[in-house]
Amino acid sequence: MSDVTADPRFAAGRAAPRRRLRLSWSDPTFRAIVWQVLIVGLVGLVLWYLVRNTNQNLAARHIATGFGFLDRVAGIPIGETLVPYNPAVNTYGRALIVGVLNTLKVAVVGIVLATLLGTVIGIGRLSSNWLLSKLTAFYVETLRDIPLLLQLLFWYTVLQGLPAPRQAIRLGEVFLSNRGIKVPLLEIQSAHEWAFLAFVIGLVATVLWNRRAARQQAATGVRPRVWPVAIGLLIGLPLVVWAVLGAPLTFEVPVLRGFNFQGGGTLSPEYFALLLGLVTYTAAYIAEIVRSGIQAVPQGQWEAAGALGLRSGMVLRKVILPQALRVIVPPMTSQYLNLTKNSSLAVAIGYQDIVSIANTTLNQTGQAIEGIAVIMAVYLTISLSISLFMNWYNAHIALVER
């Protein structure tokens, strides 16, 4: 290394001749600066023009800008809320938070269910059973060719076409009616809270045990069994805690009183239609991603793993999936982002997500710019969080190259 720098010829070659910036069109550096100044100036000019017009229009219409309206009483009735909310007392700020939580509620549940359904259908497409693979292909092709909004409207009318609560369709203790789906709800007692705490402790202990097993494998080559310990910690421990505290198990069953049901948990028709539409639509895309991911793993990998004497479950878990996931994860991320963004179509069927509530807010207060800014900020935050998490996961499973 030092030899190289000692060589006088190299030292001379390395010190590139410093060219001065010439004020001539034939100098690339000069050209680059001129182009950038021109384009940035143009964009700045357009933006300045728009902002100036906006300020003039706002002044002409006597609309005050700013987020002061967030502290005013909202008066927007909201059907379903995850946090306590009273339209007569609570502010616009609180209403928007309720909207964000409603969006997250449908997005998180939707992502989990769409992944499950999509994986099942994607594997179905690879089935050696001709009928099954054709049927799943038909599902994928049809669902992808119909606009999501049309599907949502369809599901919503189907759910509204269900009988009234008095004639509700009964499946065990679950009631289907045009007021939504009523399910029995577990009455939460202190024993359940302790059992949940035990589950969290068990989860942490499982992770630690897994790390220890990995260290031991690295040191000795023999991996201690993880799954019996994991089952014991994750299922056994909470069960024991629950049993010791008297094993309480009572359900709050929905009961028909007058024209509607009392008690139990409710899935509103709006929420259920949105969830159903989002899950079935996104699952069609996820199925294609899963199928192409598995097909991307060369056939030789199956055969080589089989030749090593691995059982078929092990082959899938240890050889195929880690390789397929590398292909699957990046497009899957964009499907998750799509599902989250598509949940904004809730406004068309009356589910009160952030778009719907922000839209009502901007209609009531006239704060158009702030309302849209809130919507965009919320979605940008959610999108960036999902991308960050999925990028971390992608880096975690990526091929480690030396």
Partner 1 sequence: MSDTVATADPGYAAARERPPAGLVGPWAWARANLFSSWWSTAITLLLVYVILRALFGFVEWAFVNAIWTVPYNAQGRPDTAVCQNAKGIGACWAIITDKYRLILFGRYPYEEQWRPAICVVLFIGLYVVSAMRRFWRKELALIWVGTLAVIGVLMWGGVFGLQEVPEDYWGGLPITLILATFGLAFAFPLAVLVALGRRSRLPAIKLLCVLYVELIRGVPLISVLFMASVMFPLFMPAGVNVDKLLRAQIAFILFAGAYLAEVVRGGLQALPKGQGEAADALGLPYWKKTGLIILPQALRLVIPPLVNTFIGFFKDTSLVLIIGLFDLLTMGKVALSDPPWQSFSTEVYVVLAIIYICFCFAMSKYSRGLERELNRARRR
101 or 256: CB nearest partner 1: 101
Could you tell me if 135 and 152 are in contact, meaning their C-beta atoms sit under 8 angstroms apart? no
Residues 126, 146, 296, 388: which binds partner 1 (CB under 8 A)? 146
> Sign of torsion, CA 350 356 359 361?
positive
The yes or no reply on residue 399 touching partner 1 (CB under 8 A) is no
Site for partner 1 contains 144 (CB under 8 A): yes
User: Which of these segments, 77-85, 145-153, 178-186, 256-264, binds partner 1 (CB under 8 A)?
Assistant: 145-153
Q: Which of 5, 54, 86, 391 binds partner 1 (CB under 8 A)?
A: 54
Residue 247 within binding range of partner 1, rule CB under 8 A: no
Rounded least distance, CB 214 to partner 1, Å: 35
The CB-of-385 to partner 1 minimum distance in angstroms stands at 11
The CB-of-223 to partner 1 minimum distance in angstroms stands at 32
Determine the Cα–Cα distance for residues 233 and 210; give it in Å rounded to an integer.
Answer: 12
Q: How far is the CB of 115 from partner 1 (least distance, A)?
A: 20
- Using the rule CB under 8 A, is 65 a contact of partner 1? no
Determine if 167 is a binding residue for partner 1 (CB under 8 A).
no
Asked if residue 64 binds partner 1 (CB under 8 A), the reply is: no
d(CA 69, CA 367): 8
Contacts of 136 (CB under 8 A, 6+ apart): 121, 122, 124, 125, 127, 287
For partner 1, which stretch binds (CB under 8 A), given 83-91, 94-102, 135-143, 307-315?
135-143
φ, ψ of residue 19 to 5 degrees: the values are -90, 140
In this structure, are residues 100 and 120 in contact, taking their beta carbons and an 8 Å threshold? no
At which residue do the structure tokens 């030092």 appear? 2
The interface region with partner 1, picked from 46-54, 71-79, 108-116, 192-200 by CB under 8 A, is 46-54
> CA angle, 183 as apex, 178 and 185 as ends, to 5°?
145
List, in order, residues 6 or more apart from 96 with CB less than 8 Å away: 70, 354, 357, 358, 361, 374
Which residue, 47 or 231, is less far from partner 1 as judged by CB? 47
Q: How many residues interact with partner 1 (rule CB under 8 A)?
A: 52
Could you tell me the smallest distance in angstroms from the CB atom of residue 342 to partner 1? 7
Q: Is 130 a binder of partner 1 (CB under 8 A)?
A: yes
How far is 363 from 18, CA to CA, in rounded Å? Answer: 61
337 to 396, contacts with partner 1 by CB under 8 A? Answer: 341-342, 344-345, 347-348, 355, 359, 362, 368-369, 371-372, 375-376, 379-380, 383-384
To the nearest 10°, the Cα dihedral for 175, 110, 192, 172?
Answer: 20
Residue 154 near partner 1 by CB under 8 A: yes
Nearer to partner 1, 36 or 391 (CB): 36
Exactly one of 101, 109, 123, 153 binds partner 1 (CB under 8 A); that residue is 153
C-alpha–C-alpha distance, residues 190 and 318, integer Å: 41
- Candidates 148, 283, 286, 305; binder of partner 1 (CB under 8 A) is 148
Contact 114, 282 (CB under 8 A): yes
- Determine the interface stretch with partner 1 among 36-44, 191-199, 219-227, 308-316 (rule: CB under 8 A): 36-44
Tell me, what amino acid is at 120? V
- 216: contact with partner 1 by CB under 8 A: no
Q: Quote the CA–CA distance of 39 and 31 in Å, as a whole number.
A: 12
Give the residue with the Cβ less far from partner 1, 189 or 338: 338
164 binds partner 1, rule: CB under 8 A: no
Residues forming contacts to partner 1 in the complex (CB under 8 A) are: 32, 35-36, 39-40, 43, 50, 53-54, 56-58, 60, 127-132, 135, 141-142, 144-150, 153-154, 157-158, 341-342, 344-345, 347-348, 355, 359, 362, 368-369, 371-372, 375-376, 379-380, 383-384
